[in-house]
Amino acid sequence: MAVFVGMFLSLLMRIHLVAPTAALPLLGDIKPEMYLTLVTMHGTIMVFFVLTTAPQGGFGNYFLPIQIGAPDMAFPVLNMLSFWTTFLGFIVMIAAFFVAGGAPLHGWTGYAPLSAMQSTGPGEGLGADLWIISIAIFCIGALMGALNFITTTLDMRAKGMTMMRMPLTVWAWFVTAILGLLAFGVLLSAGILLLMDRNLGTSFFVPLVTINGQLTGHRGGSPLLWQHLFWFFGHPEVYIAILPAMGMCSQLLSVFSRKPIFGYKAMVYAILAIGFLGFMVWGHHMFMSGMSPYTAFAFSIMTMGIGVPSAIKTFNWLGTLMRGRIRFTSPMLFAIGFVSLFVSGGISGPFLAQPVLDIQLHDTYFVPAHFHLIMGVASIFGIFAATYYWFPKMFGRMMNESMARWHFWFSFIGTYAIFMPMHYLGMAGMPRRYSQLTEVTYLHGLVPLQKFITYAAFVTIAGQLIFLVNLFWSMFKGKRASDNPWEATTLEWTTATPPPHDNFGGHTPVVHNGPYEYSVPGAPRDYVMQSDPEIEPAH
């Protein structure tokens, strides 16, 4: 539901950008402040309730225990609480649309002092309070989930499932949970301080300011303090969104190349390195804040350092594909699509990691183009790949392959059609966050490109209907799936389809092999399951 709300808001923005005077049915004119509300709520819903929730809370909760041979998560009741808390957070967020003044307009980053006072604009009253409360509720739900993931992974692995025999999906979920555990507490603290500034008159984030010539009661606070606290959470959040997709992609490239993953240990250490470095680079979001050039230099170097483990992962994905007997199934197409988007979106990262370039590009469309490709759509491709891959295990039926391929090509071409031109818009100087730029003379030449992006967005989103139809059609009419239709090796494919309540029907699996034993010389078939009798290492 969250993803459709988020997509709908993005469509409204795209329409307004190319036809700012158009009156929309039910909504009427989109005024500049409403445009900012759309930006805020689209970003917030997509980041928190889609990219953070679906890959970790959705697939992780279902498949992490099965992949490590456990009957359930360590604390099932807490797990349920985590789900309902997150749902409550979403309801509170949506409620912000319907209160007096509407939803807030301070952006998903909630920069103070705009977000820290009630009178800074429409939506900054009760709507903004609900926004903060929703994020706080979400943090609590996410922390309960992270607690469960970490305890389950450390304490409930089946006999023989050593850490270095865990599938890379499990490693990704595990490290993501650690990131969440360390990051969400900080966001929660920032939210509490913000609520106090807004409602109790404190001055943590608000300096001496005047509104309409009148001094407010605040003084001495620091907007930069908010930015530091927010981005200390915000940058790890990028990896919270994308690490599960990385794990998923690693899994699928091995399964459908019929080859062991290239450099398993390097992949594990790269995940750990990305997680660790993710906490060291928050300042690169703040180059515009006037920080000392020496500090900026340190953040810049650390940021470019993340390129190393990222490059290791990309190299290993390509190494896995090389000379593989590739099966171009729909999950594999989305996994390859993920690699493509990760490279295309990632390559602009080192541009923005350099303060000199970032100051030029920061407030342009270059930045949304970058983060949508790498954090947004790449992660969504991971979610699609996971859906096509695990659907047979969840529902006992295969998804329709033809529809899946149409869906892939619509999504893949559509994504590039939307976000590659956006890079050019940014480099040409098109500023972001403005609602109405069609009448600005120096940007006239870029209007056709904006229109092209809007058309591409419509076509791409229409393509998602194919997925929806396929999803529901396949649940009831799809071809019956065997217990292991992809001939994969991990433990979820050893149990019945769909898995019984305790995952393994009273049987406790024992693990003898690694997770990616494909094309093993001398083996009776081209894959050896993790629970099969032990084999000699093939590499």
Partner 1 sequence: MATFSTTAVEDPRISLGDHDILPPIRGGGGDDGSGPGLPDYATRLRRARLGLLVALTPVLMLFVSFTSAYVVRQGLPTLDPRTNALVRDWIPVTLPKLLLINTGVLILSSVFMELARWQIKRQATLASATSTPGVSAGDRIKIPWLFLTMALGLAFLFGQWTAWRQLAANGFYVATTPSSSFVYLLTGTHAVHLMGGVLALLVAGIASLLRRSLATRSIVVDVTAWYWHFMAALWIYILCLLEFAS
What Å distances lie between residue 141 and 52, 88, 144, 232, 286, CA to CA? 11, 9, 5, 19, 28
> Smallest distance from the beta carbon of 183 to partner 1, in angstroms?
8
The torsion of the CA quartet 230, 382, 181, 138, rounded to 10 degrees, works out to 60
Segment near partner 1 (CB under 8 A); pick from 98-106, 195-203, 352-360, 410-418: 195-203
Report the residue number, 3 or 225, with the smaller CB distance to partner 1.
Answer: 225
Give the contacts of 290 (CB within 8 A, at least 6 positions apart). none
**By rule CB under 8 A, what string of x and - marks binding of each residue 111-150 to partner 1?**
--------------------------------x--xx--x
Identify the residue among 155, 439, 526, 534 touching partner 1 (CB under 8 A).
155
> Exactly one of 35, 184, 338, 381 binds partner 1 (CB under 8 A); which one?
184
Name the one range near partner 1 by CB under 8 A: 200-208, 309-317, 320-328, 526-534: 200-208
Which CB atom, from 229 or from 241, has the smaller least distance to partner 1? Answer: 229
Q: Interface with partner 1 includes 505 (CB under 8 A)?
A: no
Q: Does 70 bind partner 1 (CB under 8 A)?
A: yes
CA distance 149 to 139: 15
Residue 504 C-beta: closest distance to partner 1, Å = 10
Binding string, residues 74-93; x marks residues near partner 1 by CB under 8 A: xxxxx---------------
76: which 2 tokens?
């099932």
Closest CB 87 distance from partner 1, rounded Å: 19
Which tokens belong to 352? 């923005």
289 binds partner 1 (CB under 8 A): no
| Per CB under 8 A, 502 contacts partner 1 | yes
Which part of the chain contacts partner 1 (CB under 8 A), choosing from 17-25, 184-192, 282-290, 390-398? 184-192
* Total residue count of the chain as it appears in this document: 539
Is 189 a binder of partner 1 (CB under 8 A)? Answer: yes
Alpha-carbon span 146 to 138, nearest angstrom: 12
Closer to partner 1 at the Cβ: 37 or 495?
495
| N-to-C CA span, the chain | 45
Q: How far is CA 417 from CA 224, 277, 420, in A?
A: 36, 32, 6
Which one, of 359, 394, 386, lies nearest residue 475 by Cα? 394
Give the shortest CB-310-to-partner 1 separation in angstroms. Answer: 21
Asked if residue 202 binds partner 1 (CB under 8 A), the reply is yes
Q: Which stretch binds partner 1 (CB under 8 A): 21-29, 201-209, 396-404, 470-478?
A: 201-209
Name beta bridge partners: 431. Answer: 364
Tokens of 210: 């005047």
- Residue whose CB is less far from partner 1, 156 or 326: 156
Which element (helix H / strand E) includes 472?
helix 447-477
**Token pair listed for 107:** 């952006």
Q: How far apart are CA 183 and CA 139, in angstroms?
A: 9
Rule CB under 8 A: choose which of 28, 201, 293, 498 binds partner 1.
201
Cis peptide before 498 (omega within 30 of 0): yes
Select the span of 202-210, 290-298, 306-314, 525-533 touching partner 1 (CB under 8 A). 202-210
In this structure, what token pair is assigned to residue 15?
């329409």
Q: Which residues pair with 28 in a beta bridge?
A: 24
Q: Binding of partner 1 at residue 32 (CB under 8 A)?
A: no
Q: What are 394's two structure tokens?
A: 């969840």
Q: Does 383 bind partner 1 (CB under 8 A)?
A: no
Classified as helix, coil or strand, 167 is coil
Site for partner 1 in 214-243 (CB under 8 A): 215, 217, 219-222, 225, 228-229, 232
Q: How far apart are CA 395 and CA 397, in angstroms?
A: 5
Do residues 191 and 92 lie in contact, with contact meaning Cβ atoms separated by under 8 Å?
A: no
Q: What number of chain residues touch partner 1 (CB under 8 A)?
A: 56
For partner 1, the binding residues (CB under 8 A) are 70-72, 74-78, 143, 146-147, 150-151, 154-164, 181-186, 188-190, 192-193, 196, 200-204, 207-208, 215, 217, 219-222, 225, 228-229, 232, 502, 506, 508
